[in-house]
Amino acid sequence: MASIDAVLLALDNNRPAALDRLFELLAIPSISTDAAYAPQCERAADWLAKELTGLGFDAAVHPTAGRPMVLGHAKAAHRDAPHVLFYGHYDVQPVDPLELWNTDPFKPELQEGRRIVARGASDDKGQLMTFVEACRAFRETGGLPCEITVLFEGEEESGSPSLPAFVAANRDALKADLALVCDTGMWDAETPSITTMLRGLVGEEVVVKAADRDLHSGMFGGAAANPIHVLARILADLHDGEGRVALAGFYDGVEELPADVAEQWRALPFDEAEFLHGVGLSVPAGERGRSVLEKVWSRPTAEVNGITGGYGGPGFKTVLPAQASAKVSFRLVGRQDPAKVRAAFQSFVRERLPADCTAEFLPHGASPALQLPFSSEALTRARRALHAEWGKEPVMAGSGGSIPIVGTFKQDLKMDAMMIGFALDDDRVHSPNEKYELTSFHKGARSWARVLDALAK
């Protein structure tokens, strides 16, 4: 196997051809949500399978009830190499409003010698091709450092309806030591990022009931229990004065960040005011003594997402309602147990019910947090590899919401995921004039080469 320097040199030498290949893929209008473009999705899948085959992968297009999957597999140059599963998606968002595009979204252009402009340039064709180009460079210089399975999906932009069943039906083919996902962004144009944490979610609806019918507040007001009051008091208790969630045992399994990550986050040039200003706010709410980044990346939360009780129409009605309900969600981190959190919430509610009131609960999904351990050897190696490429320590990022594919990999294949991507905040993903920086494309490929090399050592 060649040295990483030889691989990087090959990548640099291949740049014009790599861009031509990306443009070929970008020219295929593989919009997944519109059935009229189904043949174009098949074309894109075929194109990718052919690419992989050309790189020595055992690759094929697999039909689904929707758009096809591309699945490829290649052995490493050496035995005992680690096995990784790489995920990307070849489908793209629709292009309307078309009149806001300055160029044809499916006639890719390199603008000002530095921006690749086309639908899918950043999300996700440009990104997945960084990995393909890294594989090519290894092939040209002696072989792959890792055993690699590649999964390219064609329905990510329309909710991945076929994915869970496909994963369940192809466990043996997909199972690897670690999943690599290239569908996220950099911290900024100079700073790479690895997303290692995705918060989990418990959804629960609570219905508080009192009288067996709606009452007239003139006749009963002041003497009969009002479920809206009861519910309001319970929800008001849900957070303590410090903004912490007051459920018993809620923070079991929640760990503080490692010192180096905490220090990194503190040092990040993140403008909390600007983040909030974008949605009309100015002061962070929530847990006292935590930064906004901590709050949305690494801290668990309780949020009421909906509340309903009594009369909600126009005007007024002096009703004392028989019931009131709330939909509450808990974002989980670390090793918080969704079932325990749900049970703790139910106890919390029941302990606060006054006489004559009952509570009913409706579950609305539960998923644990996903976290690639900070102590993971793969993470340490990837951090070092990205640092070598970018000259800066990569940001250990979290994601406040879930990314379904990562949950599927974890739940069905018991496989952790490391998310590394090179998109920038200004890439206009899902919008007109989507672009991908040429540096993202070139240094992204070099990054993957370094990561694969590092994982194999």
- Residues 349-378 touching a second copy, rule: CB under 8 A, are 354-356, 364-365
Whose Cβ is closer to a second copy: residue 317's or residue 430's?
Answer: 317
Q: How far is the CB of 338 from a second copy (least distance, A)?
A: 14
Applying CB under 8 A, among 33, 64, 308, 346 the residue interacting with a second copy is 308
Applying CB under 8 A, among 253, 286, 404, 432 the residue interacting with a second copy is 286
Applying CB under 8 A, among 42, 109, 177, 237 the residue interacting with a second copy is 237
What torsion, rounded to 10 degrees, do the Cα atoms 299, 305, 309, 314 define?
140
DSSP state of 87: E
Stretch that binds a second copy, among 141-149, 263-271, 304-312, 343-351 (CB under 8 A): 304-312
Q: Compute the half-sphere exposure of residue 378: CA atoms within 13 Å on the CB side of its CA.
A: 21
**Of 245, 426, 400, 261, nearest to 333 (Cα)?**
400
Sign of the CA dihedral with 264 first, then 376, 171, and 446 last: positive
289 touches a second copy (CB under 8 A): no
266 touches a second copy (CB under 8 A): no
Applying CB under 8 A, among 119, 125, 139, 299 the residue interacting with a second copy is 299
d(CA 134, CA 115): 20
d(CA 137, CA 55): 10
Whose Cβ is closer to a second copy: residue 287's or residue 389's?
Answer: 287
| Contacts (Cβ under 8 Å, ≥6 apart) of 368 | 200, 332, 335, 336, 337, 338
Whose Cβ is closer to a second copy: residue 113's or residue 222's?
Answer: 222
Are 297 and 398 within 8 A, CB to CB?
yes
Applying CB under 8 A, among 16, 113, 222, 269 the residue interacting with a second copy is 222
Secondary structure element (H or E) that encloses residue 367, with its range:
strand 358-367
Applying CB under 8 A, among 311, 347, 391, 430 the residue interacting with a second copy is 311
Stretch that binds a second copy, among 91-99, 130-138, 181-189, 294-302 (CB under 8 A): 294-302
259 touches a second copy (CB under 8 A): no
224 touches a second copy (CB under 8 A): yes
241 touches a second copy (CB under 8 A): no
Q: How far is the CB of 294 from a second copy (least distance, A)?
A: 9
Count residues contacting a second copy (CB under 8 A)?
A: 78
SS3 call for 161: coil
Are 194 and 297 within 8 A, CB to CB?
no
Applying CB under 8 A, among 124, 156, 183, 287 the residue interacting with a second copy is 287
d(CA 75, CA 81): 9
Residues 70-109 that bind a second copy (CB under 8 A): none
Pairing of the two strands 193-198 and 417-420: antiparallel
Q: How far is the CB of 457 from a second copy (least distance, A)?
A: 36
Applying CB under 8 A, among 301, 323, 408, 447 the residue interacting with a second copy is 301
**Of 120, 198, 150, 172, nearest to 52 (Cα)?**
150
Residues 185-214 that bind a second copy (CB under 8 A): 199, 201, 203, 205, 210-213
**Of 110, 58, 332, 295, nearest to 200 (Cα)?**
332
Stretch that binds a second copy, among 3-11, 109-117, 182-190, 283-291 (CB under 8 A): 283-291
Are 451 and 420 within 8 A, CB to CB?
yes
Residues 395-414 that bind a second copy (CB under 8 A): 399-402
282 touches a second copy (CB under 8 A): yes
